Structure 1
Amino acid sequence: MVATGRPAALPTLLLLSLPLFFLSSQASDPYPPAQNVTWKSTNFKTILTWEPEPSEDYSYTVEFSSLSGDMQRSRHCIRSSAALCDLSASLSDLQACYTADVLSEPPRGATSDLIEPPHTRSPRFCPYKDTDIGRPDFKLKVGADRRTTTLFVEDPLTAIFKDGRQLTIRDVFSDQLLYRVTYRRNKSTGRKTLDSRSNEVELKGLDRGESYCFNVQAFIPSRGSHKQLGEPSATQCSAHEDQSIFEVYSVGVIAAAIFLVLLLVGIVIAVTVVCCKRRKNALKRGKEGVPLRDV
């Protein structure tokens, strides 16, 4: 059989067409799509982040919508040179769930023939269920009986404003909000917990005169298990009623204090001895210098 030239020419045509395919692909998608689009939210301060940072050749625009609403653009994130967008004020319905699209577009002031720019969709985000709750502050007061301690918890502020007032997490979650107190005797590993709906948490039956350590975190049982507890507060400990000097200060500090006291006493004694000797010598020299009286 005599082979024709067509089968041999087919691979050559395919190889020649590959560069044209890649060039046309790059021409139709000149701006890299966003990656790792993520919601970061604490106390309803909600930031949408992604990668990579844009160059001078392109920018990002953010569009968002609730699951039942129309897509709208964030006016602060149109052709932006940043890889984040603050949507705290835009997600006004805290009970709704939202998605966002990050569009890769020409830089501000430039034009493009793209009909639909590359875009990447975010995961679903529901502010009421998904925002993290930050650490609360609290003050403690030991009762007169030395067996009761009361914690006064301050509700963390949110990024939400209503009628000119900044709302707290209590304003948002109402009776859904509890505070979980974790406490232990100072220098002990055993822990106990107490949940309270009130901002004044009273702990009774503590050992009289003992020091106890406390921390507090928001607790919202109606949420999913991984979002029920907020960030723990800083730990605070009550004072020990009858602490010995060895419990308050380390051995090194006590030894240094004793050494300083002894050194000070030694210096005082040495100065006193030197002064006394000088005085005696001065008196002796004075007597020797007085001439004898004639009889």
Structure 2
Amino acid sequence: MSQSACLIVLLLSSCASGLYPTAHNVSWKSTNFKTVLSWEPKPSSEYSYSVEFSQVGKDKQRTPHCIRSTSTVCDLSGSLTNLTACYTADVLSEPPLGATSDLTEFPHTSSPRFCPYKDTDIGKPDFEIQMNKDQRKITLNVTDPLTALFKNGRQLTIRDVFTDKLQYRVTYRKNKSSGKKVVESKSSVIEVTGLDAEESYCFSVQVFLPSRVEKQLGEMSLTKCSTTDNHSIIKEYSLVVIAGAVLFVVLVTGIIIAVAVICYKQRSKGLKGGRKAVPLQGV
């Protein structure tokens, strides 16, 4: 190719890039298999974005809601159907919807590789505390988090996806104590044993996926604490408070008794004085 021809190609490429700026900061964000591709910048009225994605080693595909769009995000949750495969995506800068261009190849930016099964973050679970008659044991009933995936019209949970590889890690401590203990379970019904009777305990739960190399732990749940109605009054209140309360009751009782005695004596004196003042009636 001659120097003049190379110069023309470079000029055309420069014009194309100037008219359709390439996207940057292309990244994946995925939680519980809700997977979104995002990038920058927001396009002007002169161009738009389209997204092409592909399973590694296979043909590229497009999803209808991410073609010639002015958005800078593309939800690919329902398109990445093979969860154990890895994917890449290209963000193409193209003419706006309804416009045409003489270009046959548009500027694009490729994403990092994304593997849903290994890379999606796991959100925090919810759970309920079940008190047992045996005060040394508490049962936690964990609700498996829902995913963004559906099968036969049913929304799948993370247990549907990870099956027997799913575990839960429970972190617990005595209420108002900083010392922590950890227990792990493959079940969503978790028994925590060896507790001190008549003590309140606080629990947090998170998903644990030991089969993963990275991102083994999910987001920590909210902390919930058990309640007990069997605390002794000495545990609930200090000895000083108890002594003060007893002293107050004794003092109030003494005042009531003293007032009652004084009133009784005054009434007795009044009755005796009244009898002396009444003259004897003749027979």
TM-score band by shorter chain is 0.7 to 0.9
Compared with structure 1, are the counterparts of its residues 246 and 193 closer, same or farther at alpha carbon in structure 2 (3 Å cutoff)?
closer
Paired residue for 2:74? 85
Amino acid at match of 2:41: P
Residue 33 (structure 2) aligned to one of 44, 54, 57: 44
Paired residue for 1:170? 159
Residues matched between the structures, number: 228
Residue 189 (structure 1) aligned to one of 178, 188, 192: 178
Paired residue for 2:88? 99
Q: Name the CA distance, whole Å, in 2 between partners of 1:224 and 1:51.
A: 30
Paired residue for 1:28? 16
Q: Confirm whether residue 131 of structure 1 aligns to residue 104 of structure 2.
A: no
Amino acid at match of 2:59: D
Residue 147 (structure 1) aligned to one of 124, 131, 136: 136
Task: Output the aligned Cα RMSD.
Answer: 1.9
Q: Confirm whether residue 229 of structure 1 aligns to residue 209 of structure 2.
A: no
Compared with structure 1, are the counterparts of its residues 135 and 238 closer, same or farther at alpha carbon in structure 2 (3 Å cutoff)?
same
Q: Confirm whether residue 209 of structure 1 aligns to residue 198 of structure 2.
A: yes
Paired residue for 1:119? 108
Aligned with 1:76: secondary structure?
A: helix
- After TM superposition, the structure 1 = structure 2 runs for residues 259-270 of structure 1, keeping only pairs within 5 Å, are none
- CA offsets per residue over residues 9-43 of structure 1, 9 Å max, x none? xxxxxxxxxxx999655413211101010000000
**Offset of 1:138 from its aligned partner?**
0.4
**Offset of 1:115 from its aligned partner?**
1.6
**Offset of 1:121 from its aligned partner?**
0.3
Name whichever of 26-35 and 55-64 sits farther off.
Answer: 26-35
Q: Which runs of 4+ in 1 moved over 6 A?
A: 20-23
Q: What TM-score, normalized by structure 2, do the two folds share?
A: 0.77
Residue 189 (structure 2) aligned to one of 178, 200, 216: 200
Q: Confirm whether residue 239 of structure 1 aligns to residue 227 of structure 2.
A: yes
Paired residue for 2:58? 69
Q: Confirm whether residue 109 of structure 1 aligns to residue 98 of structure 2.
A: yes
Compared with structure 1, are the counterparts of its residues 223 and 242 closer, same or farther at alpha carbon in structure 2 (3 Å cutoff)?
same
Amino acid at match of 1:233: S
Compared with structure 1, are the counterparts of its residues 146 and 104 closer, same or farther at alpha carbon in structure 2 (3 Å cutoff)?
same
* Structure 1 unaligned regions, length at least 5: 1-19, 249-295
Q: Name the CA distance, whole Å, in 2 between partners of 1:244 and 1:137.
A: 33
Q: Name the CA distance, whole Å, in 2 between partners of 1:23 and 1:247.
A: 82
Amino acid at match of 2:151: K
**Offset of 1:141 from its aligned partner?**
1.1
